[in-house]
Amino acid sequence: MNDINIRVEGRAGRITLTRPRALNALSHDMCRAIDTALHLWREEEHVALVIIDAEGDKAFCAGGDIAELYETGMRGDYDYGQSFWRDEYRLNALLATYAKPVVSFMQGFTMGGGVGIGCHGKHRVVEESSRIAMPECGIGLVPDVGGSYLLAHAPGHLGVYLGTTAARMNAADAIYAGFADHFIPRAEWGDLIEMLQASGDVSHLRSHAHTPPMSALQSRQPEIDRLFAAPTLSEILDGLASDTGDFARNTHAEMQRNSGLAMACALEIIRYLQAESADMYRALRMEYRYTHRAMQQGDFLEGIRAAIIDKDRDPKWKFSGEPVPRAAIDRMLAPLGAEGLKFER
């Protein structure tokens, strides 16, 4: 497969995304190839750790390959998307629970599906250009690929802010929010990867790590906690609209561009995970309830049309300018019964 290079070098299983012109967008075939390799390496004693990186400077992985999801969905083929998300979420769970160290090197954009393969391992490296985000509400999805789990564990109400606004984090922000671990300048990555391959010893990461700059999100934490503490999306939006500060005004404008249904459901999922102290598996099951229905009942196809296909940036959301009914949230997040996400391979 030309989109990904999977091999063993020294004591490391190596996974390199190799479609930089597409910002290393993750396809269904790439997900399945990574899953197969991880299951194989789990049983091979000479593989001490796994390294995931990507070609190019612009992106580690800017998300899932959504063009094919749109094409199949518009034909009324919802099985393809449901199968893609199901396999992708199983891979996310495998990475989060993998018995061997997984080291990811995330330059440039890491968004959506990129977070799913880059931010669940035990050792997550960022650098000067890193920009990490969960932008799903802007295309009618909820933060998925286990992103809701990370958001639920972010400090205070930061996860609600990041999940509903699609705000981008730099390296320092990502470390503060719990999406990354080590700040290591890009110029040091080549030598570091060689050391990891030769030794199979992740302690080299600590010796290379630098202190990142101060996180802007950390300095904003009190304001974010105040503005995003309300229990419903309508109350959060009303609070932002009535606040006189620049941050609140700009944040309110950003959220007006997103799908109200997706934001309301994202808020519901994150708050549920926080209240229940839920694990990664529960988070992925909740996300799948939404994505399983996203094409037929949600805003996903319209969001992709406006952002990727027609590029008019003018989506016609289902609940534009009005509160999202409780019944609509419950309908999107209701249990799926026999069609629910299962993790058996």
Candidates 65, 88, 136, 181; catalytic one: 136
**Which among 271, 263, 253, 273 is positioned nearest to 324, based on CA atoms?**
263
Residue type, 85: W
DSSP class of residue 26 equals B
64 in catalytic set: yes
- Rounded Cα distance between 75 and 250, Å, is 37
Per-residue model confidence (pLDDT) at position 344: 81
In three-state secondary structure terms, 239 is: helix
57 carries an active-site annotation: no
Tens digit of each residue's pLDDT, the chain (345 residues): 789 999 999 999 999 999 999 999 999 999 999 999 999 999 999 999 999 999 999 999 999 888 889 999 999 999 999 999 999 999 999 999 999 999 999 999 999 999 999 999 999 999 999 999 999 999 999 999 999 999 999 999 999 999 999 999 999 999 999 999 999 999 999 999 999 999 999 999 999 999 988 899 999 999 999 999 999 999 999 999 999 999 999 999 999 999 999 999 999 999 999 998 889 999 999 999 999 999 999 999 999 999 999 999 999 999 988 899 999 999 999 999 999 999 986
* pLDDT at site 179: 98
β-pairing, 109-111 vs 59-61, is parallel
Helix pair 233-242, 260-276: axis angle to 10 deg: 110
**113 a catalytic residue:** yes
Q: Which residue has the tokens 């020294």?
A: 10
Residue carrying structure tokens 């930089």 = 20
pLDDT at 276: 85
Bridge partners (DSSP) listed for residue 131 = 109
Question: Which of 144, 173, 268, 287 is labelled catalytic?
Answer: 144
Strands (E) in the chain, as ranges, are 4-9, 12-17, 49-54, 59-61, 102-106, 109-111, 123-126, 131-133, 182-183
SS (H, E, C) 94-132: HHHCCCCCEEEEECEEEECHHHHHHCCCCEEEECCCCEE
Specify whether the CB–CB gap between 147 and 169 falls below 8 A: no
Residue-range domain boundaries for the chain: 4-133+171-208, 216-339
70-92 exposure pattern, b = at least 16 Cβ within 10 A, e = fewer: bebbeeeebebbbebbbbbbbbb
| Fold of the 4-133+171-208 domain | 2-enoyl-CoA Hydratase; Chain A, domain 1 (3.90.226)
Catalytic-role residue among 64, 73, 138, 146 = 64
pLDDT of residue 295: 96
Active site residue 243: no
Catalytic residue among 13, 108, 113, 116: 113
